[in-house]
């Protein structure tokens, strides 16, 4: 029995049901391929999404640590009687800094 005999009956008449079965087989194979391709893509995107979420969580933690350290530093500096910006030497430095920032060369 060869593939040609599937499409014809014993009398030699063409069997249309065999065409429908053949088309259904091709559709099933195409569907399986699409499911495989979609699952492969979803797997990769899930891994990327998970790593990005973990990265965002780590950035949040580091940002909170940085901001809280900055506030602690500011409060620590405010605890001193010494005012950095009123010191005559620092006023000169600030003036130089402003001058160099306004001068763009």
Q: What is the pLDDT of residues 23-79, one digit of tens each?
A: 999 999 999 999 988 888 788 888 889 999 999 999 999 999 999 998 888 877 777
Domain layout of the chain by residue ranges: 3-102
Count other C-beta atoms under 10 Å from residue 68's C-beta.
10
Q: Is the pLDDT of residue 86 over 80?
A: no
Angle at 88 between CA 87 and CA 92, to 5 degrees: 115
Q: Residue 103: CB partners within 8 Å, gap ≥ 6?
A: none
Identify the band that residue 85 occupies on the pLDDT scale cut at 50, 70 and 90: low
Which of 32-36, 85-89, 101-105 is predicted least confidently? 101-105
Considering only residues 16 and 53, tell me which one the structure prediction assigns the higher pLDDT: 53
């Amino acid at each position: 029995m060869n593939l040609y005999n599937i499409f014809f009956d014993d009398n030699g008449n063409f069997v249309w049901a065999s065409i429908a079965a053949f088309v259904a087989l091709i559709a099933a194979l195409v569907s399986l391929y699409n499911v495989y391709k979609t699952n492969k893509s979803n797997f990769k995107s899930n891994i990327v999404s998970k790593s990005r979420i973990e990265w965002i969580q780590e950035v949040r933690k580091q940002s909170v640590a940085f901001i809280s350290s900055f506030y602690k530093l500011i409060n620590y500096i405010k605890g001193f009687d010494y005012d950095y910006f009123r010191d005559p030497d620092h006023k000169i430095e600030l003036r130089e800094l402003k001058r160099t920032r306004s001068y763009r060369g």
